[in-house]
Amino acid sequence: MKRSIAFLALSAALASFGAYADAGAPAAASQHANYSYGMPLDVAKVISITPASNAADCQVGTAHMVYVDHQGQRREINYQEMGNCSQQ
C-alpha cells in the first residue's frame, strides 16, 4: 500500500514539473537523463518503472522510469528512491 502511494506521489510530482525538451536531439532517439531536484519534466504517459534494486534494504537507490512526453517522444530517466522501510 505504501509503495503504491509513493508511486502515485512520484508520478504526480514528475508530471507537474512542466515541459522538458532537448532541442538538439533527433525525434526518434530515446532521451536518457538523471533527475535532479527541480528538473522540469513533461510526462504524458508512463511506460514502465523499474524500482531500485535495494528497495527492500531501507536505503536510497536508483530507480528507472521510461515515459512518453506530450510531443510523443520516448524518454528515460533515473531518479533516487527510498527503499521500503517496514517497521516491524
The DSSP H or E segment spanning 15 is helix 2-15
Residue 10, pLDDT above cutoff 60: no
Beta strands in the chain, from DSSP E residues, in sequence order: 31-34, 45-50, 60-68, 74-82
What does pTM read for this prediction?
Answer: 0.58
Would you give the DSSP letter of residue 17? T
Could you tell me which residue, 56 or 17, shows the higher pLDDT?
A: 56
Q: Is residue 52 very low, low, confident or very high in pLDDT (cuts 50, 70, 90)?
A: confident
